[in-house]
Amino acid sequence: MTYLRRALKYFIQISLLFAVIIGILMATGMVSKDVAVAFQHGWTSVWWILGLFAVMSLAYPFFGYQKRKINVVGDPADYKEGIVQALDARGYVLEGDQDGVLTFRLSSALNRAARMWEDRITLSPILGGFQAEGLSRDLVRVISSIEQTFRNHGNN
pLDDT digits (tens, 9 = 90+) for 49-67: 999 999 999 988 888 888 8
Domain closes at, from 63, 90, 110 = 63
Domain range for 88 is 72-155
| 77 and 51 assigned to the same domain | no
Q: How many domains does the chain have?
A: 2
Domain closes at, from 45, 63, 81 = 63
Tell me: pLDDT of 40 over 60: yes
Residue 74 is classified by DSSP as: S
Residue 136: burial class (beta carbons within 10 Å; 0-12, 13-18, 19+)? exposed
The rounded Cα 126 to chain-centroid distance in angstroms is 23
State whether the Cα torsion 37-40-41-45 is positive or negative: negative
The rounded Cα 9 to chain-centroid distance in angstroms is 11
Domain closes at, from 43, 63, 83 = 63
Q: What is the CATH number of the domain that holds 140?
A: 3.30.310
Tell me: pLDDT of 155 over 60: no
Query: Do residues 123 and 83 lie in contact, with contact meaning Cβ atoms separated by under 8 Å?
Result: yes
| 30 and 79 assigned to the same domain | no
Q: Residue type for 147, please?
A: E
Kindly report the pTM of this predicted structure: 0.70
| 76 and 145 assigned to the same domain | yes
| 151 and 76 assigned to the same domain | yes
| 40 and 88 assigned to the same domain | no
| 96 and 138 assigned to the same domain | yes
Residue 156 has what pLDDT?
Answer: 46
Residue 153 has what pLDDT?
Answer: 60
| 78 and 32 assigned to the same domain | no
| 80 and 139 assigned to the same domain | yes
What confidence tens digit (pLDDT) does each residue in 72-130 have?
Answer: 777 777 788 888 888 888 889 998 888 888 999 988 888 888 887 888 899 998 887 88
Instruction: Give the integer Cα–Cα distance in Å for 122 and 55.
Output: 27
Residue 154 has what pLDDT?
Answer: 55
Length of the chain: 156
Find all residues with CB under 8 Å of 81, minimum gap 6, and list them.
Answer: none
What confidence tens digit (pLDDT) does each residue in 7-20 have?
Answer: 998 899 899 999 99
What confidence tens digit (pLDDT) does each residue in 22-35 have?
Answer: 999 999 999 888 88
Query: Do residues 104 and 97 lie in contact, with contact meaning Cβ atoms separated by under 8 Å?
Result: no
| 93 and 150 assigned to the same domain | yes
Residue 36 has what pLDDT?
Answer: 86
